[in-house]
Amino acid sequence: MIELDAALGWREVAAIAEGAPVAISDAAERRIRAARSLVESIVEKGLRAYGVNTGVGALCDIVVDASRQRQLSRNILMSHAVGVGAPLGAAETRAIIAAAINNFVRGASGVRLEVVAALVTLLNRGCLPEVPSRGSVGYLAQMAHIALVLIGAGHARLDGERCTGAEALQRLGVPPLVLEAKEGLSLVNGTPCALGLAVIALQRMEALLEWADAVAAMSFENLHGQGAAFDARALALRASPGLERVGANLRTALDGSGILEAAAGSRTQDALSLRAIPQVHGAVRDVFTYGAAVIDRELGSVTDNPIVTGTAEAPRVHSQAHAVGAAIGLAADSLGIAIAELAAMSERRIDRLVNPLVSGLPAFLAADSGTSSGFMIAQYTAVSLVAENRRLAAPASLDGGVTSGLQEDHLSHATPAASKWLQILENVEAILAIEALAAAQAYDLQPGSHARAPRNDATYRALRAVAAFYRDDRPLADDIARARALLRLGLPAALQAA
């Protein structure tokens, strides 16, 4: 059980995305109730407040009287539920809901406790609103589809079945909400969608970073690299925590290698895709550390508009731009570029493994050269995915655009940035899976009897547990899929550097 009180960190949101139940602390409940009293005071006093008693976007100067404020909240959900495309997955949807609840418990949004409790019920009972994955320039659309279910509209999945929002609430024993002033706007506002997607991407990227080092070490050994490139004293001359971590991982993975011992001193230096593994993988890790810190800061922030503060006697409403997700968009763009570069280097190592001119191994790692193509076309797949990553890595943060009649004339595109980062990670998983399988195949084709490094041998055996030696006797795509599933689980602790 994860209690929502202080701001959640990204790892806690990731745990909720995987199914951890949640509860709201007593202190958080008090903050939520206090904030709601501020909204009620604003309505009673007739203070002009964006989205409370005015229209939204370019309609912000149109006053909405108290008799129509419920209708305004409901209409906001209906008009903002304009998403298109395939629905988000269960983990992504849960992460978004968790990020929304995390925002509300800060006590500055002014929604009723009943609204937050209803979102908690969706999580704890496994009711997943159907959320189209596309159609957002920053926020709004995805959360609108989630909020529809709270009022008995839209669609959801419950117990593996698709049903209407009304049917889902009936089966949960929860009455549909009638939204009060400001609640419609608060439910669609802020950065929960971008944050939820970013958390899922962080979790997947962290797992890939560990595998990337392990797989690169196997390729390095197969290609008879010069281990001196990873000397701890030499690497320490460049200030980078990520570089130091990767260097340590590589030294552990390669320790005790008879293959490298036999190849020592045979070349002055290796190709950059081999000797620059610490510099590139390390830089990616440094970007990851920065990006994770940004996401944690955003989770610790209030991202509603407007924000309510003060007391019931003297309420204050702050109509600002905290809902703009520029920090998330920039971080997601950077992380997408970083992991795309790591994968581009992986593809270069795949090419070296399958090229007999540099590997000294059978062409394309084929079991029977001539009648078998081995990994020839798998490398094509990696090239294709690297090229696609290059296109996806174009920064969404610079896309711009003008919406809402010039009222919203600068857009951060945080949600699209996080979404395409996830698409890049999909490709990276496949590229690293291909390199892992190629490296395992290369071990089986190594001439001589020199021993593999023990840690690399353990990684090899983990891969061989899901994919046998390849003889062009089955679709290689199936092996790639199995290796990819293994990578997504994360590198087992037994295979990680001490």
Domains of the chain from N-terminus onward: 2-189 (1.10.275.10), 198-495 (1.20.200.10)
CA–CA separation, 129 and 158 (whole Å)? 9
User: Using CB atoms within 10 A of its CB, is residue 489 exposed (0-12), middle (13-18) or buried (19+)?
Assistant: exposed
Give the model's pLDDT for residue 42: 85
Q: Which of 56-65, 288-297, 369-378 has the highest average model confidence (pLDDT)? A: 288-297
pTM: 0.94
Question: What mean pLDDT comes out for the span 13-33?
Answer: 96
Q: 6 pLDDT exceeds 90?
A: no
Q: Are 339 and 208 in contact (CB under 8 A)?
A: yes
The CA distances from residue 388 to 11, 203, 381, 383, 393, in Å, are 29, 22, 11, 9, 9
Any residues with CB less than 8 A from the CB of 391 and at least 6 apart, and which? none
What φ, ψ does residue 266 adopt, rounded to 5°?
-75, -20
CA–CA separation, 314 and 340 (whole Å)? 51
β strands within 267-379, DSSP E: 307-310, 315-318
The CA distances from residue 262 to 10, 26, 100, 225, 457, in Å, are 45, 65, 57, 10, 17
Q: Which amino acid is at 220?
A: F
CA–CA separation, 201 and 250 (whole Å)? 25
Q: Which pair of tokens denotes residue 349?
A: 């190592």
Q: Which amino acid is at 157?
A: R
Give the model's pLDDT for residue 406: 52
> Which H or E run contains 427?
helix 414-445
Q: Which pair of tokens denotes residue 362?
A: 């059978």
pLDDT one-digit tens code per residue, 174-190 = 999 999 988 999 999 88
What residues are annotated to the active site?
50
Compute the C-alpha angle 402/408/409, nearest 5°: 45
Q: Are 497 and 248 in contact (CB under 8 A)?
A: yes
Question: What mean pLDDT comes out for the span 197-223?
Answer: 97
